[in-house]
Every structure is written in structure tokens, then in C-alpha cells.
Amino acid sequence: MNKYDIIVLGSGPGGYVTAIRASQLGFKTAVVEKENLGGVCLNWGCIPTKALLKSAQVFEYLKHAGDYGLSVKDYDKDFDAVVKRSRGVADGMSKGVQFLMKKNKIDVIEGFGKLKPGKKVDVDGTEYSADHIIIATGARSRELPSLPQDGKKVIGYREAMSLATQPKKMIVVGSGAIGVEFAYFYNSMGTEVTVVEFLPNIVPVEDEDISKQLERSFKKSGINIMTSAEVTKVDTSGNGVKATVKTSKGEEILEADIILSAVGIKTNIENIGLEDVGIVVDKDKILVDKFYKTNIPGYYAIGDVTPGQALAHVASAEGILCVENIKGMHVEALDYGNIPGCTYCSPEIASVGLTEKQAKDKGLDIKVGKFPFSASGKAKASGNPDGFVKVIFDAKYGEWLGCHMIGAGVTDMIAEAVLGRKLETTGHDVLKAVHPHPTMSEAVMEAVAAAYDEVIHL
């Protein structure tokens, strides 16, 4: 009973998707999970944060009802109810994964799994074996020495999603996706928010134009932004917390009720038996080949524990490729240059491919086009004129090098650029593909037209 074809360690969006695909391919499959099916993404990340952000968006609509010719009186927020709704959405999704496990006849082994030599996994004293073991243990909030988390006054993303009371003042350290999403949520709810970013631009992995636009939008909504700034010390001895922030102008002390540390992630690779098996790790990541084999035959790794982008959709894609390769199917290695990134603050951010700076640094001759949503009929009508679409093409061959968007609903629009790049679509192909009017998505076509000096509505 304890022998399987495939055992997956971890049930996040990498692990559970991997297990389902393995089962579809005829493998006897088990998943080992120490906490909740669905992992961080479904329980403490992607899904519950989107529920919080939707509540914030609805609250924003109520605040600005007058802009739409509507009069709404006596509205307010119930912070506890907002949090409860988010947790309810997460619980529902986790139960959905339980159903999928049963539907696909996947055994769920509850407990902490530890790898053993000889293609075995020990789960709290019981040993299981498999022909193939796939590590998908994910990651958690990273702690800085200068910013130790106590779970009360200095918190990570988990606590930020389930606070008992809404803080009046919050400092968000780090302006990646997690940082800016929570900054938007708490600011919308009425918390006074300051974002502290070590690098010169917020959302520093994005195209510089995107970063500047988000900073403008955030400042307009009342969020305080401090860039090229570093939290060097925190004092939690009083009622709230004091943060010493080092800037080019010197040191400044900020006071708040809570600090949210959003400075990245740390992989969950401790005490899972990597050393016992001899699996090679470098810079906190498990080293794998293009089909996710580790240096030890029979052991694989996918998702946040490997060097690729730490994104849920990447982990899922990696897991599917991994088991399809194990099955002997003909599969292409994942193109990490064509992975979309999405940030769900307001305005939303979505991007894929090279930024303008990256393209120039490569010495490429490029065409760049931008189309602002302020010139989009659909954006104006819906009350969302902030933001733009920016596209980058190779001037000689027409290759679509990059696409960067900021605005309402752009996380649902970026797939056009991902598919276009996958199919080696040129700028002229996009121009001749008729886009529906009026839509937000026609801004993609207009941006391409701008790159080729054919723009109509600007």
C-alpha cells in the first residue's frame, strides 16, 4: 500500500497540479501535505488576497459613486467581515482541491514529509516509496536580520490577511507584488500606509514607465512612497512600532501600528532530507535540468524551490512538463523569457518579455509604442483612465520583445501578448488582427500602431 509510481511533496499550485496530471497519465500518485491542500497560493496567497482586493475595489466604487451619477449614503466597511469573506473563499478553494484529489484517485498523505535515499519519503514515521519523487514544497515570507517578524507588530503576508483589527498606520517594507497589493488594500480600507523600497523604483522588476505610473497613482490615492530607503532597525517596545529608515537625506524614524515585511521569499527546503539524499542546492534553490531532474536519479523539484520565477502558474507548468517527460511524451522545455507577471493592486500591472531598458542593454534596435487608457473610450466610460499599454518590437524583424501594461483589468489582457510571442507574432500581425471596440484590449493594438506610426486615436 505504501508503494507509488509518483509521490509529490507539497500540494500548492505546483504540487496538486503535478499530481493531477500524473494521475491522468496513469501513474499511481500520492501527495504529502503538512498543512492545507492548495498550499500558500490557495490558502494564504493568490486567492485570498484577490478576495481582499475585490472588497477594497467595491469600497472604492462606493466612495466614488458620485463620479458615476449615483448617490450612496450611509455606507461603511466591516473589516472583520472583509477578512472572513477572504478566508471563506480560500476555504472553498482548498475544499475544491480535496474534491480533485478524490476525483483523480490521488492519495493524500497528511504530515511532514522527509526525503530518504532509495526513492523513499518518511511521513511522521511511516515510510513510503515511489519510482519518482517530486519536491514542490514552495516558499514562505523571508525575514531580514534588521526586520525580525514577531507575528504581531512585525508581520508577514499570512498575518496581513487575517488581522483581528484594522491598523490605523502601517509601514510596508518592500514594493514587489505582495507589498503593493497590501499597500493598496489597507490604504483603500482607510489605513495610513507608507511603502519603503530599497531600490530607486517601486515594483522594481517592472519597466521603469510602469513603476513611475504606479507611484503617481499611489501618491494620488494618499500612499506615502519612500524609495532608495532601507529599514535598519525596528523598536517594538512601545504600543506600536518605530522603524528607523535610512535614506540619502539621513535617518528618519517612522511610527506605525504594524510593519508588514514584504521583502521576498525563502524556500522551504530545510529539514526535508536534501542532505541525506545528496541533492545539490545553490543559493537557497534546488538545482534541476530543463525537465526538473535533480542530480540524484528519481528525484525532481519544481516551483519556488527551483531557480525559475516564483509564480504559481510557473510551478503548475513545470509540474506538468515534469510528469509528461517522465511518461516519455515529447515536450518542449519551458520558455522562461515568456512568463507573464501580474500584480493585482489598483491600477493592476501585467507584463511579459523584455523591458525597454533590457532591450536597449542587449543592443537591440527597437520600436516602442505606448497608448494611454485616457484615450480609450472603454476606460473613460468605466471610470478607469489611469495607465497605459506599452509594447516593444525588434525594428528589423518585427519580433514582439515585450509588453507592459498598467490599468484596470490588464492582468486579464496580458495573455494576448504571451500567446502572440509564443506564436512568433509580428507587430504587423497584431495590427491586422481586428480588435473589438470599445474594449480595454484594443489598447494593445493601438500601442502597436503607435510603435509603427500608424496610431489612429492618439
On whether 177 is known to bind a ligand per the annotation, the reply is yes
Q: Contacts for 50-55 with beta carbons within 8 Å, 24 or more apart? A: 50/344, 51/85, 51/86, 51/89, 51/90, 52/82, 52/83, 52/86, 52/161, 52/185, 53/181, 53/184, 53/185, 53/344, 53/345, 53/346, 55/82, 55/85, 55/86
On whether 50 is known to bind a ligand per the annotation, the reply is yes
Pick the closest to residue 365 from 405, 388, 399, 339 (CA basis): 399
333 DSSP 8-state letter:
P
C-alpha cell at 341: 507577471
437 is catalytic: yes
On whether 12 is known to bind a ligand per the annotation, the reply is no
Give the strand pairing for 299-301 and 348-353: unpaired
On whether 113 is known to bind a ligand per the annotation, the reply is yes
CA–CA gap between residue 287 and residue 99 (Å, rounded): 33
On whether 264 is known to bind a ligand per the annotation, the reply is yes
What residues contact 69, with CB distance under 8 A and at least 6 apart?
none
Pick the closest to residue 130 from 148, 115, 142 (CA basis): 115
On whether 23 is known to bind a ligand per the annotation, the reply is no
Q: Using omega within 30 degrees of 0 as the cis cutoff, is the peptide bond preceding 436 cis? A: no
On whether 176 is known to bind a ligand per the annotation, the reply is yes
On whether 178 is known to bind a ligand per the annotation, the reply is yes
On whether 190 is known to bind a ligand per the annotation, the reply is no
On whether 197 is known to bind a ligand per the annotation, the reply is yes
On whether 407 is known to bind a ligand per the annotation, the reply is no
Query: ∠ CA 198-225-164 to the nearest 5 degrees?
Result: 95
Q: Identify the H or E element spanning 368.
A: strand 366-372
Instruction: Choose, from 64, 428, 437, 457, the residue flagged as catalytic.
Output: 437
On whether 337 is known to bind a ligand per the annotation, the reply is no
On whether 180 is known to bind a ligand per the annotation, the reply is yes
Neighbours of 1 (CB within 10 A): 5
CA–CA gap between residue 380 and residue 386 (Å, rounded): 9
Enumerate the active-site residues.
437
Which residue numbers belong to the known binding site? 50, 113, 174-181, 197, 264, 304
Which residue numbers belong to the known binding site for FAD? 50, 113, 304
Which residue numbers belong to the known binding site for NAD(+)? 174-181, 197, 264
